[in-house]
Structure 1
Amino acid sequence: MTSSNDAFPPSATPYHATGSLRGRTLLMSGGSRGIGLAIALRAAQDGASIVLLAKTGEPHAKLQGTVFSAADELQAAGGNALPLVGDVRNDDDVAHAVDAAVERFGGIDIVINNASAIDLSRTDDVDMKRYDLMQDVNVRGTFLLSKLALPALRKSDGGHILTLSPPLNLDPTWAGKHLAYTMAKYGMSLTTLGLAEELKADGIRVNSLWPCTLIDTAAIRNMPGGESMVRAARGPRIMADAAHAVLTGANLTDAAAPSGNFYTDEQVLAAAGVRDFRPYSLGAAEDQLVPDIFL
């Protein structure tokens, strides 16, 4: 696989930004690889400051990248980076990340709940340790990071919480396919729904973002059949561009609600002026791309 910087030259995207994240500080859970790193790199290209809270401090046997190599990429892309080894399930680690972001960069403008655990097993087969992991990382971790960052976000003139979670689609298909994972991801989405309403008076925007198609990541490649699946996927740049559009408001019209939305990447980028999504594909025709789940 190419490095993240090689994969994201600015000229390779059909998205033409109208806003910038320069001067903004992002606090992200995870982000040492995959979609999270792609989003962080896009912010770094603007000159943003990014704090990464991730578990991977040492190289993984199967997954490329650590929080430190990710920080190096962010610096090389033009941003400021603070890598922190920690677990979003640990209260002290999350509190330290919030404090470190405020101390190093003077505040927090954006929280990105990116860390997530996945297990698509059916109920008979799911291991309860994996069930607990998904609940702790996906639901509790999202709630905890958002909660502890609120005092700093209230001081920002553009506070925003963006969570990588799907629309709350109550079609029983998704609960029936992988109930444990569905509950965990929908828990993240319920956090968006609730905080958007709760924080209206504070001026903090709260939204979710989800891909329309499968995205090529190391986690997908390491799943059974993953290497063949990603041949019909898009690269993570589409989610990076979509997140950038949401965070800068490039997708908003005068009539659009700025908070409480469950966006898809295509929806956001179409609103921001993108008409041709083919550059995001890894080679498959548009009608051969694998749709993502929950949609």
Structure 2
Amino acid sequence: MNSFQEFITKINDYKHHALLLVSKQFENAEFPPAQFYTLIKEICGIALYQNNDVSVFEMAAQHHDIFIADRHRKILRIEDLEKIKDLVLYQPSEAKRRLFFIENCERMNANSANALLKALEEPHAKSIFILTTRNLNLVLPTIASRCQKVFIHFDEIKQTSILDTVSLSDFNLIKAQIDSFHTSLSYINNSLHEKQTKTINSHSLKTAIEISEKLAKEYSAQILQDLIVFATNERLKKDASFLNIAKSILVTISDWKNSEMMNPSTQLWLSRIFISYQLN
């Protein structure tokens, strides 16, 4: 496995027009901004202007010789990649090579992958594709087979704090929901002989679904799982009697983790977590 520094030192030795960077570190962290800056400098010969108010990815996306696929969309659509087929026909205007960067390329489905395949099959001499993934097995075989695989490790990546990744307002929304859980699922409620306090009304239900839908679109399942567990633990520190409900929340999280690959709709699981408990 190459370190990023080893990879970047040998970047000109890679003659393939498409490199697929594989690292488990991409599961919990984005491509490090400082290393992305170096990547552009070495591959494209461009030193981007650095601005603390704008990320290097946003800066790069504004350059006419650099294409960056949407970095936040859970599933890349065909329209997200369709622009590539036109860009790849032209020589770069400033860079020594035109860069196409697709982070977490396992987000492509068969339709969006088709928008990329022709460009990969008939590359322009002055174009290079950099794709990343956390797991090679998740990448469509038609894409993986057209790329040179590079297993890479970033010494510079630090474990990202949940609160660094999720905005404080969204964290507070989740925590408020969990703090309001008073009784558990009906079958747990009956088994524990707990008194039901209040049935969820339509407004509470609508709010829970809206919040869960918003969060599911913006954050990965892993982050949301960890955040809910974190907030549950915070409640337990203040209220030991919350233990029984906390156990049922953790059971739901466990079911969620086991089923995520079978049911990709995180929003449904978030709704289940929010509305499976009677609210105060």
Q: Is the radius of gyration larger for structure 1 or structure 2? A: 2
TM-score, normalised via structure 2 length: 0.33
TM-score, normalised via structure 1 length: 0.32
- Please identify which structure carries the higher helix content: 2
